[in-house]
Structure 1
């Protein structure tokens, strides 16, 4: 009897030990650094220079929208950075092989199988460039009115709008937040379609690095996502120190949303998820990697929704105060954020965004000049509801 008990106890301990070993294989231990710093054999494995370059290119392009000496060709050259054009004031950007346009509406998840839609979206951006030069530039000294482009006062600032009140520079910049930054982060580099493409998962597990590099292909893809948000940060390993001022795109508006006490944990959640997800890749824990990617996507989609609702409500308030210049500026920013909604809900986002944009264009009337303020609140309320937050929280 004793022999049977000893045998049973021994088998139990063996089973328990084996189970623990199996659990360790299934759930690797993560070594999450306190900053976004990862290395292999003493060399940093973090690289996202291409993303930093595109952010810098976009900054100069958007700034040039209100430089009336520019031409359609010069602005298009900044957008495409075609070889030999040297469109930028920064020689390093001119020498770069990167471009903005090639990465607009170019994610694996949304556009790999829909080149027609990708081309249509790129053409929207092309159209805003040509319209700025052909419609707004000639009317620089004209006072805008319904049906006529020109300048309109907004406090101490002067805004330049098209015939129905839209600032093309604001539409372009805010749409780029969704069409470039968010789309590349959420729908491309954080997608398993990129992270696990080809042999990337097995290579990463085995620690096989890219030729002449210190990082694996999977590590690099994750870092490239990080770069579209924090690639212009002064301290790229601790990017929250200058959050909101590092660039005028997704980083800026993450900062704005994070400054709202209703959403004050947003930036910390994203930054921590980037670090933890990257550590999970190092540990070959792909379940944890995907969990952190989901956090990043959810939080960044919230940023776009919050700012869309915010600007629509700001525009509504300004219209009701007969402050047309302020209203048009807010609505132009809101227009771009609404355009960006098409990138955050998969294929469903396209139809929703286009429906809202049709309302904002108010083609049967005079655009922003006589749009119904109640329609703006309706759209803002629907956006807030879809994001799981209150309109009051977004609008303050």
Structure 2
């Protein structure tokens, strides 16, 4: 499988809009109209959007490939920590950039693809971090993750030591740096924002909504606008029906990874809106009902962002409720990654200055995690609640 590389793709779908928007009212729709009442949240996403011959107009492969890369990379880090093995910076960097046939060296997760599928695609996580930002910010974000890979490699050399002030090592089952920070959690939760939230919310479901919707992409069965929406869905979940069987209190029979899981866990008031919004927004694209498409995109973006903010609050609260230092350190590692991700919560007008200031107040002291007290937790919670009206 070969896919379009991200930088050219991101430029392409924005530029395509320049000519198409002028003629929106003059050109006929490509598809038969879909009644919004015909959509079924108990049916697969892909099977509800068909051409006149009954063929699906949905291709989720590119999105789900990138999500499988993220899950596989995360699994490599977690499995290395659990087996007291070194975490190789070079391998992490290659996984991030999809270079060096790196996915053949680890266990591929997600169940939809094998290592060659990932290696032979032209997708990489690195090309999809902070894509809504300036080139300088993209490079800075990529460098941020590369620095975390270097740090966790160095920490893993002390994996058989006990972590303490100024000493990297393990505390309980968690690998910490010399400031008591669980870098594995910072990496994962930061990618929820830099990769999933920014690419889905600020690119595909924002700038990407200006793409052409009157002509099929060459040799494909979808328009660029249809595909942008489908890419967003595939980058959120590997499942045909997002959160199938989940209730407020119980997980369904399928598993979700990354942001798809945390939207359910930390946004109980809004998680059930996401799949219907994806369906209705996709139908609105078929109907060329751009106002409704934008309404549904905004629902997805806001509920996504709210879940990240609630998760940050949830893990700050777990620092307070945990009774052992290892659990407190674990909670803070997760919280820091989620707080970093808040810089991509654009509908709530959060930015890097906001998230960096909250992080600095928490851990920019001589001993990092070991210096955190209730006053610092309270201040971080207050800042997030104020910004997100929680």
Give the TM-score range, shorter chain: 0.7 to 0.9
Q: Is the 8 A contact 2:266 2:308 kept in 1?
A: no
TM-score, normalisation: structure 1: 0.79
Q: Are 1:257 and 2:259 matched, yes or no? A: no
Q: CA deviation at 1:29?
A: 7.2
CA RMSD, Structure 1 to Structure 2 (Å): 2.2
- Aligned equivalent of 2:319: 315
CA contact (8 A) 1:147 1:366 kept: yes
- SS of corresponding position for 2:294: helix
What is the aligned partner in structure 2 of residue 291 from structure 1? 295
SS in 1 for 2:160: coil
Quote the residue 1:7 is aligned against: none
Q: Compared with structure 1, are the counterparts of its residues 96 and 340 closer, same or farther at alpha carbon in structure 2 (3 Å cutoff)?
A: same
- The residue aligned with 1:196 is 210
Contact 2:89–2:150 (CA<8 Å) still a contact in 1? yes
Name the CA distance, whole Å, in 2 between partners of 1:70 and 1:350.
28
- C-alpha distance in structure 1 between counterparts of 2:355 and 2:121, whole Å: 33
Q: Using a 3 Å threshold, how does the CA distance of structure 1 residues 220 and 376 change in structure 2: closer, same or farther?
A: same
Deviations 1:166-196 (A, max 9, x none): 11110000010001011111100011x2221
Bigger radius of gyration among the two: 1
**SS of alignment partner, residue 240 of structure 1:** coil
Q: Structure 1, residues 12-62: CA drift from partner, whole Å, max 9, x if none?
A: xxxxxxxxxx9xx9xx97513114221112110111211211111111211
TM-score normalized by structure 2? 0.80
**2:359 is matched with which residue?**
357
Shift of 1:72: 1.4
SS of equivalent residue, structure 1 residue 246: coil
Task: Report the CA distance between 1:246 and its aligned residue.
Answer: 2.9
Rounded Cα–Cα distance in structure 1 between residues aligned with 2:191 and 2:199: 11
Query: Which residue of 1 is the match for residue 91 of structure 2?
Result: 74
Aligned to 2:273, which of 240, 249, 269?
Answer: 269
Structure 1: gaps (5+ residues)? 1-21, 390-396
| Structure 2: gaps spanning 5 or more residues | 1-24, 108-114
1:331-375: CA deviations, max 9, x gaps? Answer: 000000000000003774111001011122233x31111212221
Match of 2:125 among 89, 95, 100: 100
Name the structure where helix makes up a greater proportion of residues.
Answer: 1
Matches within 5 A, 1:51-70: 51-66=63-78, 67=80, 68-70=85-87
**Is 2:86–2:153's contact at 8 Å kept on the other side of the alignment?**
no
Q: Distance in 2 between matches of 1:296 and 1:248?
A: 17
CA contact under 8 A between 1:78 and 1:87: conserved in structure 2? no
**In 2, are the aligned partners of 1:48 and 1:227 still within 8 Å (CA)?**
yes
Shift of 1:382: 2.3
- CA separation of 1:379/1:101 partners in 2, compared to 1, >3 Å: closer, same or farther? same
